[in-house]
C-alpha cells in the first residue's frame, strides 16, 4: 500500500498552483528500502543536493527530510519482510509570475513509500532484451545528468516500448550517441575495461551507476550503436534493480554466462 507525506504531514494536499504541477519545476530520486533501511542513502542525498543547486533551490533541509523518511518507514507494517521503494520529490512550491520563479523559494517536499516491483526479482537472473528506440533524447547540457520532473521524453519512450517485442529500449540522443535505457544507465565491458556513455549532454546520472564508479574504474565516453554492439558484455543498472545483464540489443545477442562471470569477478551479487 502506498503511503505519502507532504511537507511532513500525512494526507496533506498540494496547491494547484504548485510549480511542479504546472511547469515540472523540480526533481526527485527513487531508492530501494531493505530491512527498513534506505540503500545508498548518501548518494541519494548527494543527487538531491546537486539538483537543488543546479536549479537554484538553495540548501535543502535534510533534517526535516530524514525525519519524514523515518516516519514513513516506522509506519510500514512488516517492514523487515519485503523490500520497498522510497520516492523523494521536491518542487519549487507555489509563487512567481508565470515561468519566473519566486525570489524566496519554499519547496514542496513529497515522500512516497511504494511496493517493490515483483518483476525485478527475476530480471537479474534472466537478463533483459532491448530494442533500439526511435524516440531520441534532446541534448541540453544545463539539465543533463539531473533527475528533474521533466520526463516527457521517457513517457514517449515507454509508450514506444509497449509496442516492441523486447523488455526495454536502448535510447540514443539526437546525434545518435547511445545514452541509456528508458529508466536505467548502461555499463559495458570490453577487453578488461568498463565503459559507460557520457551524460554531459543528455540522460540521467543514476545513483547506482555512481555507486559502481566509486568501487571500480569506469571510462565515461561517447559511444555509437556499433561500438556498444561490439562489447563483450552490456549491463543496465538503477537503484531498484541493481546491475542487470543485457542478453540482446536489436538482433545482436550477448552471452549471459560471460556477464555473470564478470559480475562474480567484481563481487557484485544479483
Active site includes 214?
A: no
Residues 44, 88 contacting (CB under 8 angstroms) = yes
Q: Is 160 a catalytic residue?
A: no
Phi-psi region of 218 (alpha: psi -120 to 50; beta: other; left: phi over 0): beta
Selecting among 29, 30, 91, 108, the annotated active-site residue is: 30
Q: What is the largest CA-CA distance in the chain?
A: 57
**Spatial contact of 91 and 149, defined as CB atoms under 8 Å apart:** yes
168-173 and 128-137: which strand pairing? parallel
Q: Among 91, 180, 181, 196, which one carries the catalytic annotation?
A: 180
Task: For 32, list phi and psi in degrees, rounded to 5.
Answer: -90, 135
Select which of 32, 91, 108, 147 is catalytic.
147
Q: Is 247 considered catalytic here? A: no
Give the torsion through C-alpha atoms of 159, 160, 161, 165, to 10 deg.
130
Q: Which residues contact 20 (CB under 8 A, 6 or more apart)?
A: 14, 26, 89, 90, 91, 92, 108, 149
Catalytic residue numbers, as ranges: 30, 147, 180
Amino acid at each position: 500500500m502506498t503511503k505519502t507525506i507532504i511537507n511532513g504531514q500525512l494526507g496533506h494536499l498540494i496547491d494547484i498552483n504548485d510549480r511542479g504541477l504546472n511547469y515540472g519545476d523540480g526533481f526527485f530520486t527513487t531508492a530501494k528500502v531493505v530491512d527498513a533501511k534506505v540503500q545508498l542513502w548518501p548518494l541519494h542525498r548527494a543527487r538531491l543536493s546537486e539538483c537543488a543547486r543546479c536549479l537554484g533551490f538553495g540548501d535543502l533541509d535534510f533534517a526535516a527530510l530524514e525525519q519524514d523518511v523515518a516516519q514513513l518507514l516506522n509506519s510500514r507494517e512488516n517492514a523487515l519482510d519485503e523490500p520497498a521503494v522510497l520516492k523523494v520529490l521536491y518542487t519549487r512550491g507555489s509563487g512567481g509570475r508565470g515561468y519566473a520563479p519566486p525570489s524566496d523559494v519554499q519547496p514542496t517536499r513529497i515522500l512516497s513509500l511504494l511496493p517493490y516491483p515483483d518483476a525485478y526479482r527475476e530480471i537479474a537472473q534472466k537478463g533483459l532484451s532491448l530494442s533500439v528506440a526511435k524516440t531520441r533524447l534532446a541534448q541540453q547540457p544545463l539539465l543533463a545528468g539531473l533527475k528533474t520532473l521533466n520526463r516527457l521524453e521517457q513517457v514517449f519512450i515507454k509508450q514506444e516500448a509497449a509496442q516492441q517485442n523486447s523488455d526495454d529500449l536502448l535510447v540514443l540522443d539526437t546525434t545518435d550517441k547511445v545514452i541509456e535505457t528508458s529508466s536505467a544507465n548502461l555499463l559495458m565491458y570490453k577487453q578488461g575495461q568498463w565503459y559507460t556513455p557520457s551524460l554531459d549532454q543528455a540522460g540521467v546520472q543514476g545513483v547506482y551507476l555512481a555507486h559502481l564508479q566509486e568501487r571500480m574504474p569506469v571510462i565515461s565516453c561517447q559511444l555509437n550503436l556499433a561500438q556498444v554492439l561490439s562489447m563483450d558484455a552490456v549491463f543496465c543498472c538503477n537503484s531498484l534493480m541493481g546491475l542487470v545483464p543485457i542478453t540482446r540489443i536489436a538482433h545482436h545477442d550477448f552471452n549471459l554466462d560471460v556477464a555473470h562471470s564478470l559480475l562474480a569477478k567484481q563481487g557484485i551479487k544479483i
